[in-house]
């Protein structure tokens, strides 16, 4: 067996091929360019905040430079200023920069009193994170005692975001046993400090030394490791960048591999510097020989939304009812999706382009209706995509610059001249969203989206899947407030025969209800449409458009909360139902579902990972039923249940991000993804406290022997966890392109996925209890064939020489179906397991064709046998006595010695 570290490194490179990210960050001659820091529209206008952002990045750049061995620095940053702030002469209109693709978001505290800087990370070790979150109070320096200087904390978050490393502390388990002794979770282990407990009662506080629990051998739960202010250790930034001496990331030499933290669990015991060194950034740079320049900043202010529809009306659009379906989807976009106040124009093209509407500002229903009348009605001619794009640029330039404008490009045809306008697209500053319709749409479309930061979507000719309407429903603004965006509640379709009924319900929850629209489409004759509100009252007044074959009803005011029931009846035709709405109030965050893949290209046999992020504001929604529908260009649809269980493709349990591997490739070409999410109706859905990867909150400092406590970390209201949420949502997850899929029957090349949540504990009589989530036959699908469990007293031997480590007898251990909970109890044999022994355990899953998973995360147990009770032991002070220390008095160590001496004297004199 080769080095496991090498195989893991190859796997990471394999998984990172074509990683999908909205970020515009580029590394140019060691400097990071294109970083976007966005200020949330709900943040009160304060020009000082802009200077504080500049100061943070300016301070962070040289710290990053030195921490990375003179490899990286911050070169240029765009600060995105909300539209509702006062316009200034030095604010310019953004180009491709939007709130949607911002790398850093500055927003008010939520929950209240929580100013913790943190980074959203949904991927595996080495994968780029989603976004850094900061608060105005953090940027103003009001939390520097707890998190250290803002620039240093920003570098900690940057490592999460850019290189996919994890924290080296653990708030849930602050201490662990090593050789029978409790140690603080820290990296490096040479960081010095003291283990103490702060007790407060009646307005006064005392500090006392931590007690050792006689049953577990480790410290009591309230114990804190408080570091000295004066240190010599330089690592590690991912443990505590707030310590003055810490200026480096942990390396292979000083990394604490035993510490139970996320870095060890997620990154196979590798140090943060090892992970950074394996990144593409590291490979394409060499250390600089001179100091880097100071970062530069551009101030960009969001303006009104400018959109131009560029729609294909070529002859091929007459096939499979495409032209009419495009008009149905376009009408939904114009009637509902595009926000009030936006400017919208329309161009259609075949061999040449035709302007159907100059830019019109959406201020009323009449404006929306006028634009819908411009949708094309006849399909003829060839396909010239560049003509359509150039015409759109002209339409926009008559009123505005093309910087930051959006173009929605839909086509079903091939065009071998599309490369002729690539440079114009790049230079335009416009964002191009592409919708590929049918199996023959130009293969170059995705490149237009990628180079401009636009969405890429695919819709098949299977009308009942409603893919085209889903695509246009997803085209809400990347800059508008969440309360203004259109939210899709339902998207269903069916082909009915012999007066069949299509029945169902839609949940309108309390977070939505404004401008709720019910839209029905058909292919031949208007169906019978019945709709009832939650009180049972029948809803009439559908507007019927027989030309476009659609009917719609907008509910006045705020739609009633509850179950809306519908029944549609038709014969020998396909019907679809779409329901959209907006937030019920600007003051109540709506429940949203956003979806994406880990890559934009699936290269067989590398799996895709599908993510669905369900949130109400910053709060993750747990225990929802989430389903992904993946449709190939062949029309085959695969249904996957997405899970938030912290296993398989899902990196973190209970973070509101539902994930799953996709391996069911059936052909090369485009695949579309659609998400259904249901909460409360069939499951105990809850709104939860967000889990965060961020800078450590330092409880206090030891300065000249005196403990100086920081204010206690704010407690987040746990009652939020018990609030049940009922909702329904659908969301387009965009599309990806598969390649290298063989034409012959596909062999089994997919191993079981890695077990990432292995846990171990001692269970009486020196038995070890293991728990983990079962992998599958193909990643997280199906059922593995067997498990191989090995143990060692040396953690690196288990990682690097797994096949040489002691194997546990698993004859009676039969794997369960993927995502089931596994429990296995065994007694270590073939190894000396005595008091003070640290034992390390790992698992490998094997499928029926003998394909092996990666080695699991390594679990650890330490055997601690409590000392026997003696008659005198009850009167003798414990090893760590209850030493009460006034936290304002120096000389802690002296007090400890004196107290211990007094205790010993009492015993010897018979006074105890």
Query: Taking a C-beta distance cutoff of 8 angstroms, is the pair 657, 597 a contact?
Result: no
- Using the 8-state DSSP alphabet, how is residue 730 labeled? E
Question: Bridge-partner residues for 612, per DSSP?
Answer: 595, 658
- Residue 156 confidence (pLDDT): 98
Q: What is the mean pLDDT of residues 593-621?
A: 93
Q: Which of 342, 384, 357 is nearest to 83 (CA)?
A: 342
Burial pattern 664-693, b for ≥16 Cβ within 10 A else e, equals bbeebbbbbbbbbbbbbeeeebbbbbbbbb
Out of 157, 233, 258, 446, the active site residue is: 157
Backbone angles phi, psi at 868, to 5 degrees: -65, 145
Contact, 26 vs 828, CB < 8 A?
no
Say what the pLDDT of residue 742 is: 92
- Which of the residue ranges 29-38, 105-114, 229-238 would you say has the lowest mean pLDDT? 105-114
The whole-number average pLDDT for the span 54-67 is 98
Residue 189 has pLDDT above 50, yes or no: yes
Query: Is 80 exceeded by the pLDDT of residue 895?
Result: no
Q: Which residues have CB under 8 Å from 772's CB, separation 6+?
A: 647, 755, 757, 758, 759, 821, 822, 843, 856
Structure confidence at residue 449 as a pLDDT band (50, 70, 90): very high
How many C-beta atoms lie closer than 10 Å to residue 235's C-beta?
A: 28
Residues 867, 871, 877: CA angle, nearest 5 degrees: 70
The neighbour count for residue 537, using CB atoms within 10 Å, is 10
Residue range 562-576: mean pLDDT, rounded: 97
* Alpha helix stretches (DSSP H) within 458-611: 467-473
- Are residues 728 and 506 in contact, defined by beta-carbon separation less than 8 angstroms? yes
pLDDT digit string, tens, across residues 490-538: 999 999 999 999 999 999 999 999 999 999 999 999 999 999 999 999 9
Q: How confident is the model at residue 746 (pLDDT cuts 50, 70, 90)?
A: confident
Q: Are strands 500-508 and 562-570 parallel, antiparallel or unpaired?
A: antiparallel
At 506 the pLDDT is: 97
For residue 626, give every residue at least 6 positions away whose Cβ sits within 8 Å of its Cβ, in sequence order, or none.
612, 614, 641, 642, 643, 644, 658, 675, 676, 677, 678
How high is the mean pLDDT of the chain? 90
Task: Give how far the C-alpha of residue 637 lies from the chain's centroid of Cα atoms, to the nearest Å.
Answer: 25
Contact in structure between 430 and 307 (CB atoms under 8 Å): no
Question: Where are any strands of DSSP class E within 712-755?
Answer: 727-739
pLDDT band at 882 (very low <50, low <70, confident <90, very high): very low
pLDDT at 202: 82
Over pLDDT 90: what percentage of the chain?
83
User: Is the pLDDT score of 886 beyond 60?
Assistant: no
Q: Tell me, what's the pLDDT at 111? A: 75
- Model confidence at 17, in pLDDT bands (50, 70, 90)? very low
Per-residue exposure over 479-497, b if at least 16 CB sit within 10 Å of its own CB, e if not = bbbbbbbbbbbbbbbbebe
Burial of 839: CB neighbours in 10 Å, binned 0-12, 13-18, 19+: buried
The secondary structure of residue 904, as a DSSP letter, is H
- Report pLDDT digits (tens) over 269-312: 999 999 999 999 999 999 999 999 999 999 999 999 999 999 99
Instruction: Say if CB 790 and CB 731 are below 8 A apart.
Output: no
Between CA 465 and CA 635 the distance in angstroms is 10
CA distance linking residue 617 with residue 511, whole number of Å:
11
pLDDT of amino acid 486: 96
Place of tokens 């960009």: 300
Task: For residue 901, give every residue at least 6 positions away whose Cβ sits within 8 Å of its Cβ, in sequence order, or none.
Answer: none
* Arithmetic mean of pLDDT, 801-828: 97
Is the pLDDT confidence value at 912 over 50?
no
Q: Is the peptide bond before 150 cis (omega within 30 degrees of 0)?
A: no
Q: What are phi and psi of 163, to 5 degrees?
A: -115, -5
pLDDT of 36: 98
785 and 737 Cβ atoms separated by less than 8 Å: no
Catalytic: 157?
A: yes
**pLDDT over threshold 90, residue 870:** no
| Residue 21, pLDDT score | 63
pLDDT at position 397 over 60:
yes
- pLDDT score of 871: 52
At residue 511, the 3 state secondary structure works out as: coil
CA dist., res. 819 & res. 753, Å (int): 11
User: What is the reported pLDDT for 691?
Assistant: 67
pLDDT of residue 748: 86
Question: Under DSSP, is residue 23 helix (H, G, I), strand (E, B) or coil?
Answer: coil
Side by side, the strands of the sheet bearing 31-33 are 26-28, 31-33, 73-74
Q: Please provide the size of the chain in residues.
A: 912
Segment 317-368, tens digit of pLDDT: 999 999 999 999 999 999 999 999 999 999 999 999 999 999 999 999 999 9
Q: Are 246 and 233 in contact (CB under 8 A)?
A: yes
Please identify which residue in the block is written with the tokens 């003179």. Answer: 70
Closest by CA position to 396, among listed 453, 439, 357: 357
Query: Could you tell me the pLDDT band of residue 689, with boundaries at 50, 70 and 90?
Result: low
What SS3 class is residue 809? coil
Sheet holding 500-508, edge to edge: 500-508, 562-570, 528-532
pLDDT of 170 above 90: yes
Mean of pLDDT values over 814-832: 95
């Amino acid at each position: 067996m080769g080095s496991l570290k090498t195989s893991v490194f190859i796997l990471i490179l394999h998984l990172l091929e074509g990683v999908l990210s909205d970020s515009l960050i580029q590394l140019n001659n060691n400097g990071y360019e294109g970083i976007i820091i966005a200020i949330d529209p709900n943040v009160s206008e304060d020009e000082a905040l802009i200077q504080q952002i500049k100061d943070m990045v300016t301070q962070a750049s040289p710290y990053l430079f030195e921490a990375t061995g003179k490899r990286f620095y911050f070169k240029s940053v765009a600060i995105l200023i909300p539209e509702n702030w006062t316009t200034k002469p030095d604010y310019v209109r953004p180009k491709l920069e939007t709130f949607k693709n911002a790398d850093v978001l500055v927003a008010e505290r939520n929950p209240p009193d929580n100013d913790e800087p943190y980074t959203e990370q949904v991927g595996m070790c080495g994968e780029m994170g989603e976004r850094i979150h900061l608060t105005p109070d953090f940027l103003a320096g009001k939390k520097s005692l707890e998190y250290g200087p803002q620039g240093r904390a920003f570098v900690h978050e940057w490592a999460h975001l850019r290189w996919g490393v994890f924290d080296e502390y653990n708030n849930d388990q602050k201490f662990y046993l090593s050789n029978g002794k409790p140690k603080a979770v820290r990296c490096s282990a040479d960081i010095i400090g003291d283990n103490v407990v702060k007790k407060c009662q009646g307005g006064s506080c005392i500090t006392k030394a931590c007690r050792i629990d006689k049953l577990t051998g480790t410290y009591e739960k309230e114990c804190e490791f408080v570091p000295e202010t004066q240190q010599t250790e330089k690592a590690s930034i991912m443990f505590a960048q707030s310590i003055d001496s810490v200026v480096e990331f942990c390396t292979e030499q000083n990394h604490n591999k035993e510490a139970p933290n996320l870095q060890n669990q997620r990154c196979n015991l590798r140090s943060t510097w090892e992970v950074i060194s394996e990144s593409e950034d590291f490979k394409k740079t060499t250390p600089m020989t001179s100091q880097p320049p100071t970062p530069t900043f551009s101030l960009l202010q969001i303006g009104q939304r400018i959109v131009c529809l560029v729609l294909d009306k070529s002859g091929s659009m007459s096939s499979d009812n495409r032209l009419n379906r495009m008009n149905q989807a376009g009408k939904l976009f114009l009637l509902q999706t595009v926000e009030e106040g936006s400017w919208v124009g329309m161009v259609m093209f075949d061999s040449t382009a035709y302007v159907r509407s100059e830019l019109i500002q959406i201020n009323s229903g009449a404006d929306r209706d006028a634009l819908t009348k411009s949708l094309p009605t006849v399909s003829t001619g060839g396909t010239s995509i560049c003509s359509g794009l150039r015409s759109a640029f002209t339409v926009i330039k008559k009123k505005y610059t093309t910087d930051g404008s959006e173009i929605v490009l839909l086509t079903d045809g091939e065009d071998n001249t599309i490369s002729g306008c690539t440079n114009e697209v790049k230079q335009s500053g416009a964002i191009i969203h592409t919708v590929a319709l049918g199996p023959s749409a130009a293969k170059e479309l995705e490149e237009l989206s990628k180079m401009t930061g636009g969405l890429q979507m695919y819709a098949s000719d299977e009308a009942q899947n409603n893919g085209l309407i889903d695509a246009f429903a997803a085209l809400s603004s990347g800059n508008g407030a969440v309360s203004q965006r259109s939210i899709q509640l339902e998207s269903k379709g069916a082909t009915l025969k012999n007066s069949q009924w299509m029945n169902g319900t839609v949940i309108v929850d309390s977070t939505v209800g404004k401008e709720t629209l019910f839209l029905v489409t058909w292919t031949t004759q208007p169906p019978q449409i019945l709709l009832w509100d939650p009180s049972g009252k029948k809803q009439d007044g559908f507007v019927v458009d027989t030309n476009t074959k659609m009917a719609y009803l907008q509910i006045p005011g705020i739609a009633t909360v509850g179950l809306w029931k519908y029944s549609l009846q038709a014969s020998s035709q396909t019907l679809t139902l779409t329901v959209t709405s907006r937030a019920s109030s600007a003051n109540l965050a709506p429940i949203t579902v956003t979806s994406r893949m880990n890559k934009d290209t699936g290269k067989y046999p590398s799996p895709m990972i599908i993510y669905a992020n369900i949130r109400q504001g910053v709060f993750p929604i747990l225990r929802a039923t989430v389903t992904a529908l993946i449709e190939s260009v062949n029309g085959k649809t695969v249904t996957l249940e997405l899970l938030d269980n912290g296993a398989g493709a899902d990196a973190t349990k209970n973070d509101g991000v539902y994930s799953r591997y996709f391996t069911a490739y059936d052909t090369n070409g485009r695949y579309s993804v659609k998400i259904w999410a249901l909460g409360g109706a069939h499951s105990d859905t809850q709104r939860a406290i967000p889990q965060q990867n961020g800078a450590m909150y330092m409880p206090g400092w030891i300065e000249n022997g005196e403990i100086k406590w920081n204010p206690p970390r704010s407690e987040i209201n746990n009652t939020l966890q018990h609030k049940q949420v009922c909702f329904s949502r659908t969301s387009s997850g965009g599309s990806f392109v598969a390649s290298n899929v063989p034409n012959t029957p596909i062999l089994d090349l997919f191993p079981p996925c890695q077990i990432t949540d292995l846990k171990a504990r001692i269970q009486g009589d020196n038995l070890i209890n293991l728990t983990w989530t079962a992998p599958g036959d193909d990643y997280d699908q199906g059922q593995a064939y067997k498990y191989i469990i090995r143990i060692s007293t040396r953690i690196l031997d288990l990682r690097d020489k797994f096949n040489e480590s002691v194997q546990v007898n698993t004859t009676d251990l039969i794997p369960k179906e993927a995502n089931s909970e596994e429990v296995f109890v065994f007694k270590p044999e073939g190894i000396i397991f005595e008091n003070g022994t640290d034992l390390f355990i790992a698992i490998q899953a094997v499928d029926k064709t003998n394909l092996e998973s990666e080695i699991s995360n390594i679990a650890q147990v330490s055997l601690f046998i409590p000392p026997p009770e003696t008659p005198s032991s009850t009167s003798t002070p414990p090893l760590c006595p209850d030493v009460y220390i006034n936290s304002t008095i120096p000389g802690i160590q002296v007090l400890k010695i004196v107290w211990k001496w007094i205790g010993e004297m009492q015993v010897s004199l018979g006074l105890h």
